[in-house]
Amino acid sequence: MRDTATSSASYDATRLRVASYFDGTATRVWERLTSDAPVSRVRQTVREGRDAMRAMMLAQLPDDLRGARVLDAGCGTGAASAELAARGADVVAIDISPKLVEIAETRLPKGLAGNVTFASGDMLAEGLGRFDHVIAMDSLIYYAQPDLEAALDGLSARAGQVVFTVAPRTPLLMAMWNAGKIFPRSDRSPTMIPHDWRRMNVTGLGRVGRVSRGFYISECLKVRP
């Protein structure tokens, strides 16, 4: 049995740190990274990796989503939301950062506005309702395993499928994670927590694939209740 009280407090503390980062100095960085603007070679690998991962995740959903309700949990600047809407889905796009949501609203093609409801807040809020599909791209990567498992339990109880990413426990990511703990810096992004999906206690969990592009390494998983 999960200690839900402890997990909730830990989740809330991490969520506040992530919100402070993405709604602060990181806003313009992410706005540029997710655009066509020139970026450094390192950030270009991150951009390419994110594009490949988004394509992998969206491939887990039907091409025709007319009549389907989809949650884009951690929508960021809205690239996945726009694609889902173009497939005909009724999309709820939520992000912890109001500033990123504003960018997503601005970038959404006018013809798709009726298909997307934007919101800022907690992606796990039960008031968002039930969904046919949930995607959570790189929005759960900062949470410890108990918080991650509790989040997936909650989402999968209200959805037909949850497609999400974790930072895998590769030697490189583990070295970066341990270095971050030894040399903390207050001005960088919250620390990603690597996970071995095979050790996660989540019913219906399966692996989709991994994307590795330079400094971007992420693993796509999905839960089908």
Q: Is residue 30 part of a domain?
A: yes
Say yes or no to pLDDT of 150 above 90: yes
pLDDT of residue 188: 55
What six digits make up the tokens of 181? Answer: 């703990």
Residue 1 lies in a domain: no
Beta strands in the chain (DSSP E): 69-73, 90-95, 116-120, 133-136, 162-168, 194-195, 205-213, 216-223
Range of the domain at 174: 9-223
The tens digit of pLDDT for each residue in 151-194 reads 999 999 999 999 999 999 887 666 665 655 433 454 456 788 99
The verdict on residue 3 lying in a domain is no
Task: Using alpha carbons, select from 76, 71, 73 the residue that is nearest to residue 35.
Answer: 76
- Per the structure, the count of domains in the chain is 1
* Interval 14-69: pLDDT, tens: 999 999 999 988 899 999 999 999 999 999 999 999 999 999 999 999 999 999 99
Contact between 193 and 168 (Cβ < 8 Å): no
First to last CA, the chain: 18
Whether residue 2 lies inside any domain: the answer is: no
Is residue 200 domain-resident?
yes
**6 pLDDT exceeds 90?**
no
| pLDDT tens, position by position, 91-114 | 999 999 999 999 999 999 999 999
Residue 63 lies in a domain: yes
Amino acid 215: pLDDT: 84
User: Do strands 216-223 and 194-195 pair parallel, antiparallel, or not at all (unpaired)?
Assistant: unpaired
CA distances to 154, 165, 185, 220 from 126, in Å: 8, 21, 34, 24
* Cα separation, 211 vs 28, whole angstroms: 25
Tell me, what CATH number does 101's domain have? Answer: 3.40.50.150
Strands 216-223 vs 205-213: parallel, antiparallel or unpaired:
antiparallel
Dist CA 53 CA 211 (whole Å): 6
Asked whether residue 4 is domain-assigned, the answer is no
Q: Is residue 86 in some structural domain?
A: yes
